[in-house]
Amino acid sequence: MRKAAATAAGSGKQRFQFQGGIQFYKSRGQHILKNPLIVQSIVQKAGLKSTDIVLEIGPGTGNLTVKLLEVAKKVIAVELDPRMVLELQRRVQGTPQANHLQIIQGDVLKTELPYFDVCVANIPYQISSPLTFKLLSHRPLFRAAVIMFQKEFAMRLVAKPADPLYCRLSVNTQLLARVDHLLKVGKNNFRPPPKVDSSVVRIEPRNPLPPVSFKEWDGLVRLCFNRKNKTLGSIFRQKNVVQLVERNRKAVMANEDGMDVDDDGSKCQTKEMLLEILEKGKYLDKRSSKLTQDDFLTLLASFNKAGVHFSS
């Protein structure tokens, strides 16, 4: 298991020698998880069944892969680096496990992922966010993902309202999934060691998903967290916010009616409407950093009911 060449990100020249003569590129996020106790703990916390198909991202030399193969029905490993692919093939060659391992060579962010029950991954830090949302958009829904992230990113995923790390990432992820922190992993458990510590997080997609448009939701959350410690009243008084909402309103109305909307007094009316909605819901003096999922759902429903949209 390795912070992996499962993606093409990173192009530095810093190298480190490892057993077997393979050179690892720290700048690409190639870090072998060398502690067998942590490998075993990750497998246990994944809650695998003997019938499971497991997606592993960035298997590296296969330290985690061989443990997953002992438990799961099949492991599908996505790996970009052809050297790692050869090493993984060599490692299982001639064993019963070889028939239960499928290797996909390619960039995980550009790969159409097959069906899987559980994802287990130790990923390059630089793809954390796009990979998380790629997985959460995968259909059919998987049961769980157990992923090693940079510690700070992991803490943002699980952060709750009023936590200093609570942010747009926290709100968006927790709309789509239940997220739990499982395990802290110090940097010295890797070879070569990364600059920062890591954490293992469990992500369970919500099923059914909340009945909201994610584009609308993200549009609202993005506005609110641009200045998360300002009151919502202050945010929605800003000229650029009013203009954005007005543009979206016009686009929606034009699509519905097939005609343009006049400008006369519309921006002033839009601003008054936004503040009225906030005041009615008692959100005028509240801050995004302390709003719950239910608060954002209520806000979005109130705005949409009044014809206010955050995506065009």
At 67-108, the pLDDT tens digits run 999 999 999 999 999 999 999 999 999 999 999 999 999 999
Pick the range with the lowest mean pLDDT from 29-33, 69-73, 114-118.
29-33
Q: 26-205 and 214-306: same fold?
A: no
Q: Say whether 79 counts as a known binding-site residue.
A: yes
Listed in order, strand segments (DSSP E) in the chain are 2-3, 15-17, 23-25, 31-33, 53-57, 74-79, 101-105, 118-122, 144-150, 177-185, 190-191, 198-205
CATH of range 26-205; options 3.30.70.1140, 3.20.20.70, 3.40.50.300, 3.40.50.150: 3.40.50.150
Alpha helices in 108-238 (DSSP H): 128-136, 151-158, 168-176, 214-226, 232-235
Determine contact, residues 17/185, Cβ cutoff 8 Å. Answer: no
pLDDT at 126 over 70: yes
Does residue 31 have a known ligand-binding role?
yes
Q: Is 189 annotated as a binding residue?
A: no
> Residue 106 annotated as binding?
no
Q: Is 181 annotated as a binding residue?
A: no
Quote the CA–CA distance of 29 and 19 in Å, as a whole number. 17
Nearest to 166 by CA among 288, 76, 263, 43: 288
Map tokens 């997609």 to a residue: 205
More confident residue, 90 or 16: 90
33 in a labelled binding site: yes
> What are the pLDDT digits (tens) for 162-191?
999 999 999 999 999 999 999 999 999 988
Q: How confident is the model at residue 212 (pLDDT cuts 50, 70, 90)?
A: very high
Q: Which fold is adopted by the domain 214-306? A: Helicase, Ruva Protein; domain 3 (1.10.8)
The domain spans of the chain are 26-205, 214-306
pTM for the full predicted model? 0.88
